Every structure is written in C-alpha cells, then in structure tokens.
Amino acid sequence: MPRSKSGLNEFDLIRRFFVPLTKNAPGAFALSDDAAILSVEPGRNLVVTTDMMVSGVHFLPDTAPEDIAAKLLRVNLSDLASMGAVPESYTLSIALPKSDSSANEAWLKRFATGLSDEQNIWDISLVGGDTVSTPGALTLNVTAFGSVPVGGELRRSGAVSGDSIFVSGTLGDAALGLNALKGDISGLAREALDYLVSRHRRPSPRGALGRRLAGLATSTIDVSDGLAADLEHICEASGVSATVDVSKIPLSPIARSLLDQDGNHLNAILAGGDDYELLFTASSRNEEALAKLSVELDLPITKIGHIQGPKKDEKVRILDINGQTVNLASGGYRHF
C-alpha cells in the first residue's frame, strides 16, 4: 500500500501529499511498505472505527477540500470519543474521479493541507492508505485508531432505569447550518449563518469529555443520526426506554432564536443529526462530578431527561413544555 491507479502519477502524488502526513508515525514506514505497524501499549486495547463519505451524499460537491478533510477526520474522531478512546492514527482511501488530473492534483493539495492542519489539532497521524480512480463520485474512507485501557471502553449498553440523560454542547446547529446552505432558511445575519455552517462543516469531536466519562457514564454514543435516533440506539442496546424534556435541550442562541421564530425547526434539532456531541447516561449521584467536569473542560453538559424500564413500543418519548409527546417528522437524519 498504497496502490494507486487514478490517471495521475500516483506514486508522485503520494510522495508529495501523503508521505509528509506520516512523519510522526514511524510504523507507517513513509508509506513505502505493504502495511503499517501499530504498537499498542501493554494494558491498552486498540479501538477502531471506519466511515465512508461520498460527494453529493455526505457533503455538497462544492465543499472546500479543507472542510471535507476536517469533517472526514472529525466524524471518525467523534466515534473514538464516544468509546472513551485516545485518538492515535488513521488510514485513508480515496477514489478520485477520472476527469481532469490537474484539477485532481489541485484538489489533493488543498485536501492534504486540511488533513495536516487537523493532524496538528488532534495529535493524530496518517499511517497508510490507498488511492484509486473512479468513474463516479469522489469517495473517501477513513479508518481511525485510538486506544483505551483494557476494559475501559464506553459502550451503548449500560443504561439502567433511573439514570439521567446528558448531552454535551448544543444540538441542532449542524442540521440548521445544512438547511441554511440548502437555502431553506432565509434572513440569517452573516455571523449567524457562518456559525451554523461552521458547526455543520467542522464538528467538534468531544474526545476530552469521552476520555473522562469512564466510571461516570453508564452508556455513551455520539449524536450523528440525531438525538432521537441515537437515544433509541442506547435504549435498544441497554434494553431500556427514555424520556426527554424538550425544554431542557441545550441550544445555541442562534438556534434558540430560529426556533422561537419557527417551531418547525424543532425537527432539525431533534432529528437533524451531525451534531457530534456526546449523548450519555449516568446515575444522578454523578451529577456533581459531571458539573465539575463541565467547568473543567469549558463544555456545557446538560441533563435533558431520564431512563426508565423497557417498553414495548415508543422507546424514546420526547415531551414538550406541556408534557405532550412530540411527533417527529422523521425518525432520524436522512442525508441530503
């Protein structure tokens, strides 16, 4: 690896754009071997996750290459965060459209710059990859690696009746940002639009929080499919049900203002997805510890509901301020 057949001089572009991204990973052998070596410290396990992104499905085709690089890595880092893992490295596969090789080269240059910036932010390194050509859409796959103490990983399956439900940060901004990009929200001030779009394009994986939740959280997931759908995943894995109080859901001032203007935005907030906040359950006796952690990490942690015993239907109930069940327009996020 990496093998490469995309019409460009692949070995050359790998040398120029991707080998420099491996400089902090001796086990990548500067991409000059068939595979990479990952060492795992004694007492730790490796955590692995993979995500594929397709142009026109997971990002708009005119998205800046740097933003695609950021989202691709951050989506994977969010999965590692929700397992409580320390991120370490990743492999990258790219299927480049056959079209114009100089356009591909310009795109790759910006994409690799974006990856480099992200590597510096998150302290991770490329360790391997593959570059191929495609007659279809630009397609990217990252497999990301982290580590956790043996037995210390966070799971979806430990929620028990009586637990409280918490979420980090604010929900809905990313989905509202996407809706704004698609022209479905008008009249936004420039700063408001920029904020929402940035939350859509560059989610913040909550790794620092995830790594501190061992011993505190009983179940954890990252909000990628939307609050309602991801809470349902926790309920399924744990064999419980959940009730969420809509009025408790943490919103940014901009999301709050949009919701005040038009109640239909609630759907984006509850089911929009792509928030990449951590949603977790914990015993209420850990509330004080979580409040301290929130201050320490400078990250809001908000209690939004509670866990009950298993129910046959309606695993997740979302109640409005009148105690009435909110019906979602769709059960979860469907990408555009």
Under rule CB under 8 A, residue 157 binds a copy of itself: yes
Site string for a copy of itself, 225-264 (x = CB under 8 A): x-------x--xx---------------------------
**Cα(235)–Cα(219) distance, integer angstroms:** 10
Site string for a copy of itself, 285-324 (x = CB under 8 A): ----------------------------------------
Q: Residue 185 gets which letter from DSSP?
A: S
∠ CA 128-132-134, rounded to 5°: 145
Ramachandran region, residue 175 (left: φ > 0; alpha: ψ -120 to 50; beta: rest): alpha
CB 222 within 8 A of CB 82: yes
Task: For residue 102, count other CB atoms closer than 10 A to its CB.
Answer: 9
Q: Which position has the token pair 């979806």?
A: 156
CA distances from 229 to 110, 270, 271 (A): 34, 9, 7
Under rule CB under 8 A, residue 329 binds a copy of itself: no
Under rule CB under 8 A, residue 133 binds a copy of itself: yes
Under rule CB under 8 A, residue 139 binds a copy of itself: yes
Residues 89-128 that bind a copy of itself (CB under 8 A): 91-95, 127-128
Site string for a copy of itself, 6-35 (x = CB under 8 A): ---------------------x-x--xxxx
Q: Measured from the CB atom, is 140 or 188 closer to a copy of itself?
A: 140
Paired residues of 244 in beta bridges: 305, 318
Q: What is the distance, to the nearest Å, from the Cα of residue 121 to the centroid of all Cα atoms in its chain? A: 15
- Which of 134, 108, 91, 95 lies closest to 12 in space, CA to CA? 108
Interface residues toward a copy of itself, by CB under 8 A: 1, 3, 5, 27, 29, 32-40, 42, 45-54, 56-58, 79-80, 82-83, 85, 91-95, 127-130, 132-137, 139, 141, 143, 145-146, 148, 150, 153, 155-157, 221-222, 224-225, 233, 236-237, 334-335
